[in-house]
Amino acid sequence: MSSSADAPPTDAVGESLATGTDTTSRKTNNPSDTNAKSTRYASYNFAYLDEQTKRMIRRAILKAVAVPGYQVPFASRDMPLPYGWGTGGIQVTAACIGPDDVLKVIDQGSDDTTNAISIRAFFQRTTNVRVTERTTEATIIQTRHRIPETPLTEGQIFVYQVPIPEPLRWLEPRETESRRMHALADYGVMHVKLYEDIARFGRISTSYDYPVLVNERYVMAPSPTPKFDNPKMDNCPALQLFGAGREKRIYAIPPYTKVVPRFRRSSLEVQRWDDVCAPCGAEDGYLDEVVIVDKGGRCSPVQTRTTARRDAPRTSRAGTGRRARSVSTRRGGRDLMAWDDELPLLTVDGLSKNFGRTIAVDDVSFELWPGEVLAVVGESGSGKTTLLNGLGAGLPVDAGRVHYRKRSGEEVEITTLDEPARRLLTRTEWGFVHQNPRDGLRLGVSAGANIGERLMAVGARHYGKIRGEALAWMARVEIDRSRIDDRPATFSGGMQQRLQIARNLVTRPALMFMDEPTGGLDVSVQARLLDLLRQLVTELSLSVIIVTHDLAVARLLSHRMMVMQRGRVVELGLTDQILDDPQHAYSQLLVSSILQG
C-alpha cells in the first residue's frame, strides 16, 4: 500500500493504517490469547480481509471523511456471518485496525451480548489485538446503536454498524432519485415522515435513527442510534465511521464536525393554545381562529373538539381560499378584449427529442394561455408522453425552447433552468399527474401525508393546517375523509388517481401536465374526474396539457387540441373544429375511429 497516495487525513486513521501485514511482529498483549489459537487462524490474513479489499475500503473511508455525511458506495465483501449482524462495521474496523489498536465492541449498549462477544472474538483471533470493555482504553470502538456515555476522545475511531444508510429510503423508493435529492439538498420530503408520526401517534415518535444534518450539507441516517445519543455526534473529537454491509455504503463524520438534528423541535408542530374556548370553556380541543366579533376570543367547534387533534381546525382553508377568490375575481373582471393583451403562460418553440435514431418529438411549437386546456391526442408512440415529459418532468430535450411565465410575471426558460429551480417550480406552480398513480404517489405514507407533502415542501409547518387542507382536498376528489391515515396502497385505482390529482392541486398550481389521467378508470369515476377538472379550470384559472387517447374526454375537457403523428403536430386548433371538421388525413382517421356510444 502506497502511503503517499492514500495519505490518511486524520491522526486516528494514520495511526491504524500505518501498519504492515507482518503478523509475526504483533504484540501479544492479550493475556487470554494462546499460541494454539493464533496458529489455528494463521492461514487468514491479518484482520481477515485481504489487503486489496482493505485498500478499497480505506479509499471509500477517505472519500467519506472528505465529504462528511455523503454515502460512498463500496464493494462490500461476504463476511463469515450473515448480513444484518454487523458486516459493514466489521469491514470498516478490519480496514482500520492495526496490531497496536485496542478494540471495544458494543451491541445495544452492552459488551456482553452474543453479537458483541463474537465480533470481539473474531478480531482477537484474526488480528490478535488487545480487547477491552473500557471506552477510555479503546482506540477503535465498534458499536450497534449506542454511543458510550464516557466522552470519546481525539485519536479514537468509532465505527457504527448500519442496517439502512439511506434516510430517504422509506419515502423515495428510487435510488437514483434519492441520490439526486441528496445532490440537490432537496430534503423537503423529510417532513412527510414527521407528519406521519404525528398523524399516527400524535407526536414525533421517531426515537431512533433520527435524521441528522452533517456539516450543514447532507442529511444522514445515524443508524439505529437512539435520538438521545445524537447530540454526542456533534463536534465529537473522535472519527466516526459508518459501515452498511448489505447496502454497500460507507459514510463518515470527521472529528469536530457540526451535526444537528434535521428538524428543530418546532419544525412540525401540533399547535396548542393556552386559552380556552370563549363560548363554552372547552380546554381539550383545537381552537378555531375565527374571531367571534361580539364576544371576542376563539371557539372550538364541537366536531373539532370531539375528534381532538385527529381532525383539523377549519381555519386551514382561510388563507388559500382567499387566494383562490382573488384569482376568480381577476378572471371574472377580465374585460372583453383583455384576451388579446394577455401573455401566454407557456411558449414552446421548436421542441425536438430523439432517442438514438428514433425521432420521438419533432419540432413542436405551441402556446398555452392561462385557464386553457390543451389536449394532445395521437396514436401510441406518436410522442405525446415524451413531449409532456420534456415540458414538465425534466426530460432533457435535443432542441427547442420552452418559456414559462411565473406567477411573479418573470419568464423562465425551462430547458436551461437549473435543476433546483425546476424542482421548486414543479412543486409550487406545476403539477404532474401520471398515467399510473403509483408513479405519482408515495405509496409508503398515508393519504394525508401524500397531499401534505407539497405544502410542507413549500414551507407549511402547522400540522393542523396541513391536515385540514388534506381533508378538504379529499372531500373535493370524493375520497372518504376517514381514509386520511390509510396508505394509498390500500386504495382502488380510481381513488389513487384522485388522490394523485389532489396531491398535485393542493398548492394551487398554475399549470398541470396530465398523462392519460382517466386511462384505467371506470366510467363513473372518469366522469367525476372530468367534472372536477372542469370546475378547477374555471375556478382556479388552471391551465392543463392533457395527453389522452379518449377523444370524448378531449371534447368535454379541452379548449384546443393538438393531433400528433410520428412526433410531429399534424393539426392544432379548437377542439370542436378538429373533431367536427378534421382537415388532415390522420385527424380524419382518428375522428372516424371514435366508437358511437
Partner 1 sequence: MTHGKDDETTAAVRLEGIKKGFTLHLQGGASIPVFDGIEFEVDPGECVVLTGASGVGKSTLMKLIYGNYRALGGRVLIDHGGQMIDLVKANPRTIMSIRQRTLGYVSQFLRCVPRVPARDVVAEPLLTLGVSRRQARERADALLTRLNIPERLLNLPPATFSGGEQQRVNIARGFVHAYPILLLDEPTASLDADNRAIVVDLMAEAKARGTAMIGIFHDTDVRDQIADRRIALETARAAA
Q: Does 5 bind partner 1 (CB under 8 A)?
A: no
Residue 460 is placed in which grid cell? 407549511
Closest to partner 1 by CB, 28 vs 328, is: 328
Looking at the DSSP bridge assignments, the partners of residue 253 are 240
Q: Report the residue from 31, 333, 356, 459 that binds partner 1 according to the rule CB under 8 A.
A: 333
Binding residue for partner 1, selected from 9, 226, 493, 573, defined by CB under 8 A = 573
Cα(90)–Cα(161) distance, integer angstroms: 8
Binding span for partner 1 by CB under 8 A among 35-43, 163-171, 273-281, 582-590: 582-590
x/- binding map, residues 481-520, to partner 1, per CB under 8 A?
A: ----------------------------------------
- The distance of closest approach from Cβ of residue 396 to partner 1 in the complex, given in angstroms and rounded to an integer, is 30
DSSP string computed for 310-338:
GS--GGGGHHHHHHHHHHHHHHHT--TTH
Q: Does 393 bind partner 1 (CB under 8 A)?
A: no
Site string for partner 1, 525-544 (x = CB under 8 A): --xx-xx--x---x------
* Chain mean position to CA 379: 34
- The stretch among 143-151, 185-193, 307-315, 326-334 that binds partner 1 (CB under 8 A) is 326-334
We find the least distance from the C-beta atom of residue 303 to partner 1, in angstroms, to be: 25
CA distances to 65, 139, 160, 253, 377 from 257, in Å: 10, 19, 16, 6, 55
Q: How far is the CB of 530 from partner 1 (least distance, A)?
A: 5
Half-sphere exposure of 449 (CA within 13 A, CB side): 26
By CB under 8 A, residue 597 contacts partner 1:
no
Q: Which is nearer to partner 1, 385 or 518 (CB)?
A: 518
- For residue 3, give the amino acid letter: S
Residue of 37, 331, 476, 549 interacting with partner 1 (CB under 8 A): 331
Footprint on residues 362-391 left by partner 1 (CB under 8 A): 369, 372
* Strand 249-253 versus strand 239-244 pairing type: antiparallel
Q: Which residue has the cell 500505518?
A: 18
Among 416, 524, 595, 596, binds partner 1 (CB under 8 A): 524
β-bridge partners, 161: 243
> How far, in Å, CA of 414 to CA of 356, rounded?
23
Rounded (5°) CA angle 190-494-466 = 35
Q: Are 122 and 112 in contact (CB under 8 A)?
A: no
Which residues from 47-106 bind partner 1, rule CB under 8 A? none
Among 337, 341, 357, 380, binds partner 1 (CB under 8 A): 337
Site size with partner 1, rule: CB under 8 A? 36
Q: What is the rounded CA–CA span in Å between residue 236 and residue 247?
A: 26
556 makes contact with partner 1 (CB under 8 A)? yes
- Segment near partner 1 (CB under 8 A); pick from 48-56, 206-214, 324-332, 346-354: 324-332
The answer to whether the beta carbons of residues 51 and 1 sit under 8 Å apart is: yes
Q: Which of 58, 560, 564, 570 binds partner 1 (CB under 8 A)?
A: 560
Shortest Cβ 331–partner 1 spacing (Å): 6
Side-chain half-sphere CA neighbours of 202 within 13 A = 5
Question: Among 97-105, 269-277, 439-447, 524-532, which window interacts with partner 1 (CB under 8 A)?
Answer: 524-532
User: What does R_g of the chain's alpha carbons equal in angstroms?
Assistant: 30
Cα distance between residue 504 and residue 209, in whole Å: 30
User: Which residue do the cell numbers 420521438 mark?
Assistant: 360
DSSP 427-449: HHTEEEE-SSHHHHS-TTS-HHH
Kindly state the smallest distance separating residue 203's Cβ from partner 1, in Å.
41
Sheet of 259-261, strand order? 218-220, 212-214, 259-261
- Closest CB 298 distance from partner 1, rounded Å: 29
Give the shortest CB-504-to-partner 1 separation in angstroms. 20
Residue among 307 and 535 whose Cβ is closer to partner 1 = 535
Please identify which residue in 5, 36, 293, 336 interacts with partner 1, judged by CB under 8 A: 336
The number of CA neighbours under 13 Å toward the Cβ of 230 is 23
Part in contact with partner 1 (CB under 8 A); list of ranges 51-59, 176-184, 281-289, 329-337: 329-337
**Nearer Cβ to partner 1 (67/532):** 532
Taking alpha carbons only, the member of 28, 61, 71, 78 closest to residue 158 is 61
Single out the residue of 328, 358, 365, 490 in contact with partner 1 (rule: CB under 8 A): 328
- Contact, 548 vs 554, CB < 8 A? yes
Using CB under 8 A as the binding rule, whether residue 324 contacts partner 1 is answered as no
Which stretches of the chain bind partner 1, using CB under 8 A? Answer: 328-329, 331-334, 336-337, 339-340, 369, 372, 523-524, 527-528, 530-531, 534, 538, 555-556, 559-560, 573-574, 576-577, 580-581, 583-585, 588-589, 592
